[in-house]
Chains A and B, each alone.
Chain A
């Protein structure tokens, strides 16, 4: 049995005084892609942030690569775990290229300049998301979708082992949602890395993930292989509305009926 990339033991998530989830036992193995689903405010983002030491949780109850999170330094963690935030801030001016290069920050020793390899990774990532022609542009002049693609390029440049995606489809048109997630999904399988994605889009989750964590928002959760968790009954209960699946020749889709 290999050491899982992420494991939580009896983890408790809360937002201020509000309990979001308790006794959460989660395991993500190399090569796996986990979708985190749940209503607004059910703790999806809180969980992703907790895995990156960005929240206040008991860091001894989370293990990355079999080592308690409390034993990881921020710098070490950033080489291993990367996140796509729900929104990006760009109050200060920076070019597209400079922003992508930030992804290399965790991998460079102090006082070392980026090398050919780092520039190559950044250029490759920009090409992947189709922004290479905007490399010299100021971030402030990009559209919402372009900013999201830039953030994805930055994450690709960081090349972590665990990808945390918070609403990756935000601002993206349908074609880019599919191409981005196909790419990340393929990357995870190829590199035996892992991906955890918080999303509102049940169908994206069902298409690109193999495991599901459903947060009910009242402290309880359902976790397991996708086919076990993503059933009409469980989804309907979690979202508080009647969700049914529709089978088409392209696969099955979920749709709310009330």
Chain B
């Protein structure tokens, strides 16, 4: 694909991101006209609109963007690391570990501010358990994948025990967490800093990723220090995923589908795929969350439900188009 087309794609995605932000800020139970969004953002006038924008929608939009960007970036990394198109950020059990942490807090009835910390701790525990079991000596992609999938299944069993033994009230909060939900999400500037750092770090390795996608031996023959690269990829993807999960629970589908959509649109070179994924992943979650808030208003749906509802048809459509044009 020529650089011109890649630039066009990235520009189009950036425009989409802008539109997604506007939609996320203006839609909701009280709709804020686009004209007053600008005014309120640049020059806030105290009032109900100012409160809704600054205290509710903007923080939530920021959380949606960061989560989407982190998950899509992590998905790209995992797919290359495991050289498996079905890989997603959760495949190695990070979300399972985080869920066990978060659900324990809900189950124990501890103050909900601890959910974030417990989820992060659970995610890290899972990262190190999988690495300890699969990563010590020669860690092949298959061994890593199998270990991750099995550890994941183990977490799944614990989650089911927690769900079946809890009372109704807790179960609902647990399900929201498991499906991914942004209603309680808050992000700080460090989330953005982490996303940016991850993006730059992976961009610096983008060409090596192109080589790794053709196999570890090929990458090594082309001068890539494969074992160092794999370590970097594993731990970067893990931290990105763990952070995303602590912001919004395990929002599904973004990390799996966004990279594939972009590959089908022609961005297979990781120097383009990586930044495009962050932008599209962020936009996608912004739009999904806008729908989650408005579709059955005043009730809210977990955003994870919407990512699948939009993602499945969109992905199948692009897949079908791609197959026809070949």
A-side residues, CB < 8 A to B, are 52-54, 73-79, 82-83, 85, 88-95, 98-99, 102-103, 105-106, 108, 110-111, 113, 138, 141, 158
Tell me if B222 and A106 are in contact (CB < 8 A).
Answer: yes
Instruction: Determine the distance from Cα of A106 to Cα of B80 in the docked complex, in whole angstroms.
Output: 20
- Min distance, Cβ B204 to any Cβ of chain A, angstroms: 7
Tell me if B211 and A91 are in contact (CB < 8 A).
Answer: no
Tell me if A98 and B210 are in contact (CB < 8 A).
Answer: yes
Instruction: Determine the distance from Cα of A53 to Cα of B223 in the docked complex, in whole angstroms.
Output: 10
11 pairs, A vs B, C-beta closer than 8 Å:
A54-B220, A73-B223, A89-B83, A92-B213, A94-B214, A99-B214, A102-B214, A105-B208, A105-B224, A113-B3, A158-B222
B34 cross-chain contacts in A, Cβ below 8 A = none
CB-contact partner of B268 in A95, A105, A113, A141, under 8 A: A95
Q: Which of B79, B208, B214, B268 has the most CB of A within 10 A?
A: B214
Tell me if B210 and A82 are in contact (CB < 8 A).
Answer: no
B263 cross-chain contacts in A, Cβ below 8 A = 93
- Min distance, Cβ B206 to any Cβ of chain A, angstroms: 9
Tell me if B83 and A78 are in contact (CB < 8 A).
Answer: no
> Is B225 close to A, CB under 8 A?
yes
Q: Which of A76, A93, A108 has the most CB of B within 10 A?
A: A93
B84 cross-chain contacts in A, Cβ below 8 A = 91
Within 8 A of A (CB), among B213-231: 213-215, 217-218, 220-225
> Is B85 close to A, CB under 8 A?
yes
A103 cross-chain contacts in B, Cβ below 8 A = 222
Instruction: Determine the distance from Cα of A73 to Cα of B223 in the docked complex, in whole angstroms.
Output: 8
B-side residues, CB < 8 A to A, are 1, 3, 79-80, 83-85, 204, 207-208, 210-211, 213-215, 217-218, 220-225, 263, 268-269, 326
- Min distance, Cβ B118 to any Cβ of chain A, angstroms: 35
- Min distance, Cβ A164 to any Cβ of chain B, angstroms: 9
A82 cross-chain contacts in B, Cβ below 8 A = 221
Tell me if A106 and B223 are in contact (CB < 8 A).
Answer: yes
Residue of A nearest to B1 (CB): A95
- Min distance, Cβ A102 to any Cβ of chain B, angstroms: 6
Known: A78-B222, A88-B214. A98 touches B268 (CB 8 A): yes
Instruction: Determine the distance from Cα of A88 to Cα of B221 in the docked complex, in whole angstroms.
Output: 13
Q: Which of B85, B207, B210, B224 has the most CB of A within 10 A?
A: B207
B80 cross-chain contacts in A, Cβ below 8 A = 92
Instruction: Determine the distance from Cα of A99 to Cα of B268 in the docked complex, in whole angstroms.
Output: 11
Tell me if A52 and B218 are in contact (CB < 8 A).
Answer: no
Instruction: Determine the distance from Cα of A73 to Cα of B79 in the docked complex, in whole angstroms.
Output: 27
CB-contact partner of A105 in B211, B213, B215, B225, under 8 A: B211
Residue of B nearest to A83 (CB): B221
- Min distance, Cβ B54 to any Cβ of chain A, angstroms: 39
Known: A92-B85, A111-B204, A138-B326. A85 touches B221 (CB 8 A): yes
